[in-house]
Amino acid sequence: MSDHPNNPYYSRTDTTHLKVSDAEWKKILSPEVYNVARNKGTEYAFSGKYYKTDTKGMYYCAVCGNPLFKSDAKFASSCGWPSFFEALGPGSVRYEGDTSHGMRRTEVLCGRCDSHLGHIFDDGPPPTNQRFCMNSIVLEFAPDKK
Ligand code: FE
């Protein structure tokens, strides 16, 4: 269990929906995490810490600790961001239409803290044919214990 002494909202087990203002998140999060999570920024392709990772474990929301993706759902994508074909469960993430930057996309947000995680596309592998295209910086990986 990683510790987050400056983040009173962080929990890997509490599923209560969080209502925390951006102003408060700004005090808690690093500028890099804040920019993606609360300003819907995107990290540069092939720059994140997890796009090549294939270790077994769980990916949590780096903002609030909500479990988001199992490594079993991760696949090698050429897009340069960590990619998954399914979320952990129905409450793990939520979706919103996004027409920014002249594109029609579906945004993926954390189901617990509403932080921006990335987008979902329908060009993924079976069985879902979906590709959750995520930003590494808003994910926190914990390897399975041996
Ligand atoms: Fe979260």
Point out the least confidently predicted range of 3-7, 18-22, 59-63.
3-7
Cα atoms in the 13 Å half-sphere on the side-chain side of 39: 13
- Three-state DSSP class for 117? strand
Domains of the chain, residue spans: 22-143
DSSP 100: G
pLDDT in tens, 101-142: 999 999 999 999 999 999 999 999 999 999 999 999 999 999
Residue 139: the pLDDT is 98
Omega before 127 cis (within 30°)?
yes
The span from the CA of 116 to the CA of 139, in Å, is: 11
pTM of the full structure = 0.94
Residue 2: the pLDDT is 55
The catalytic residue among 61, 64, 110, 133 is: 133
**Are the beta carbons of 69 and 58 closer than 8 angstroms?**
yes
Q: Residue range 91-105: average pLDDT?
A: 95
CA of 111 to the centre of ligand 1 (A): 7
pLDDT in tens, 59-84: 999 999 999 999 999 999 999 999 99
CA of 57 to the centre of ligand 1 (A): 18
CA of 65 to the centre of ligand 1 (A): 6
Let me know if domain 22-143 sits in CATH 1.20.1050.140. Answer: no
Annotated active-site residue 110? The verdict is no
